[in-house]
């Protein structure tokens, strides 16, 4: 919100006013969680360029007036650019269809990261991956934080859907009608983690238009005449590649410095177990019917 307002307007004490508006927002109290659970530190797949690491996962949104009950969320690792594919059930057919559509639009990603659901880990997906020369990577069981980027995006998708349904007074079963608006909102929203850029800008080098452009009157009505010269296409493509490369380098530098600060601030105790030991682990990644959110169980290290 801050980045969207700073570009077309000059507002004094903008940070304080936005913070006060968010605190008093009645919609946020309905779908914002009471607390955040940080994911553990560990090795993750790191993307250095667009379409290098793509995460995907099925998200349940409940029944609708049509056939759709789930969304297949496909997300680029470095730019946070994503697409939503509605479906009735999470099946291998939907996964393969979404993969071919992503390939047709943006090219083939190098590794595809997902959980070990049967809709991702099956013979159909293996056959398609072999044909397209793509690597399928699966996270260990009970470790959702390894695929945490798409898990975090799922939370944003649910929040935007709930906010729009409440704002427009729509029935919960009409969520498929809001699908284009939700996808456009998150892809065109500037975020701090992308150094003030929008996912669409980092992934495709297209300008990120804000909803405020529809109400802001330009200072002048003069229009510059644009002449298209087909001989300059090569130079234009080279400039776009250079621009994307510069953006990605800046993002990687910011993320690495943030990761270093987080590691320095993180404190913990060394582990004292080895392969073959039985360990007691806890899970706080799902809500229980009771007040407690902890699941205690034993695991055998192999």
3-class SS of residue 16 = helix
**Domain boundaries, position 140:** 48-204
Query: What's phi and psi for 198, nearest 5 deg?
Result: -100, 155
What angle separates helix 179-187 from helix 148-168, to the nearest 10 degrees? 130
Q: Which two tokens stand for residue 123?
A: 């013979």
What is residue 296's predicted lDDT score, i.e. its pLDDT?
37
> Do residues 138 and 11 share a domain?
no
Quick check: is 14 in a domain?
Answer: yes
> Do residues 118 and 143 share a domain?
yes
Rounded CA gap, 139 and 144, in Å?
Answer: 8
Quick check: is 242 in a domain?
Answer: no
Q: Higher confidence at residue 33 or residue 253?
A: 253
> Do residues 9 and 89 share a domain?
no
Quick check: is 297 in a domain?
Answer: no
Residue 76: pLDDT over 70: yes
Domain boundary among 204, 224, 248: 204
Rounded CA gap, 141 and 143, in Å?
Answer: 5
3-class SS of residue 179 = helix
pLDDT tens figures, 55-66: 999 999 989 988
> Do residues 58 and 161 share a domain?
yes
Quick check: is 240 in a domain?
Answer: no
Q: Which two tokens stand for residue 166?
A: 């409440």
Place of tokens 């079963």: 173
> Do residues 58 and 5 share a domain?
no
> Do residues 18 and 154 share a domain?
no
> Do residues 15 and 142 share a domain?
no
> Do residues 184 and 130 share a domain?
yes
Domain boundary among 172, 204, 236: 204
Residue 35: pLDDT over 60: no
Please give the model's pTM, rounded to 2 decimal places: 0.71
Q: Which two tokens stand for residue 242?
A: 């250079």
Rounded CA gap, 297 and 71, in Å?
Answer: 31
What is residue 93's predicted lDDT score, i.e. its pLDDT?
94
User: How much is the average pLDDT of 76-80?
Assistant: 88
Residue 108: pLDDT over 90: no
> Do residues 75 and 199 share a domain?
yes
> Do residues 66 and 181 share a domain?
yes
Residue 37: pLDDT over 60: no
What is residue 148's predicted lDDT score, i.e. its pLDDT?
77
Q: Higher confidence at residue 282 or residue 197?
A: 197
pLDDT tens figures, 144-196: 777 778 888 888 899 899 889 988 889 999 999 999 999 998 899 888 888 88
Q: Higher confidence at residue 151 or residue 82?
A: 82
3-class SS of residue 299 = strand
Q: Which two tokens stand for residue 294?
A: 């902890």
C-alpha torsion angle, residues 228, 229, 230, 232 (rounded to 10): -120
Q: Of 214, 197, 218, 219, which Cα lies nearest the Cα of 206?
A: 197
What is residue 124's predicted lDDT score, i.e. its pLDDT?
92
Quick check: is 90 in a domain?
Answer: yes
Highest mean pLDDT among 4-13, 46-55, 63-72, 292-301: 63-72
Query: What's phi and psi for 233, nearest 5 deg?
Result: -65, -40
Quick check: is 283 in a domain?
Answer: no
Rounded CA gap, 141 and 137, in Å?
Answer: 13
The angle subtended at Cα 27 by Cα 22 and Cα 33, nearest 5°, is 80
**Residue 272 pLDDT grade (very low, low, confident, very high; cuts 50, 70, 90):** confident
Indicate the number of domains in the chain. 2
> Do residues 61 and 193 share a domain?
yes
Sheet holding 111-114, edge to edge: 82-87, 70-76, 54-60, 111-114, 135-138
Quick check: is 289 in a domain?
Answer: no
Quick check: is 255 in a domain?
Answer: no
> Do residues 18 and 137 share a domain?
no
Task: Please provide the average confidence, as pLDDT, over all residues in the chain.
Answer: 80
Domain boundary among 151, 171, 204: 204
Rounded CA gap, 197 and 212, in Å?
Answer: 16
Q: Give the rounded percent of residues in the chain with a pLDDT score beyond 70.
A: 79
Residue 118: give its domain's CATH number: 3.30.420.10
């Amino acid at each position: 919100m801050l980045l969207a307002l700073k570009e077309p307007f000059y507002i004094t004490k903008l940070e304080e006013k936005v913070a006060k508006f968010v605190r008093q927002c009645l919609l946020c109290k309905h779908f914002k969680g009471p607390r955040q659970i940080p994911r553990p530190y560990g090795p993750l797949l790191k993307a250095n360029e667009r379409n290098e690491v793509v995460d995907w996962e099925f998200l349940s949104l409940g029944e609708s007036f049509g056939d759709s009950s789930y969304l297949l969320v496909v997300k680029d690792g470095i730019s946070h650019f994503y697409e939503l594919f509605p479906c009735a059930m999470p099946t291998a057919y939907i996964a393969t269809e979404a993969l071919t559509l992503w390939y047709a639009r943006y090219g083939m990603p190098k590794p595809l990261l997902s959980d070990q659901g049967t809709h991702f880990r099956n013979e159909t997906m293996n056959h398609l991956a072999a044909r397209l020369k793509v690597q399928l990577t699966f996270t260990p069981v009970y470790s959702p934080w390894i695929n945490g980027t798409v898990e975090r995006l799922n939370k944003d998708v649910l929040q935007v859907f709930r906010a729009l349904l409440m704002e427009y007074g729509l029935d919960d079963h009409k969520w498929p009608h809001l699908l284009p608006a939700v996808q456009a909102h998150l892809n065109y929203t500037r975020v701090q983690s992308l150094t003030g850029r929008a996912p669409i800008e980092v992934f495709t080098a297209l300008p990120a238009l804000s909803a405020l452009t529809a109400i802001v009157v330009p200072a002048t009505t003069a229009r510059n005449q644009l002449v298209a010269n087909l001989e300059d296409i090569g130079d234009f493509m080279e400039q776009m590649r250079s621009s994307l490369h510069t953006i990605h380098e800046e993002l990687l530098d910011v993320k690495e410095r943030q990761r270093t600060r987080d590691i320095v601030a993180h404190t913990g105790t060394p582990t004292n177990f080895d392969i073959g030991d039985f360990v007691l682990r806890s899970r706080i990644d799902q809500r229980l019917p009771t007040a407690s959110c902890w699941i205690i169980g034993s695991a055998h290290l192999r």
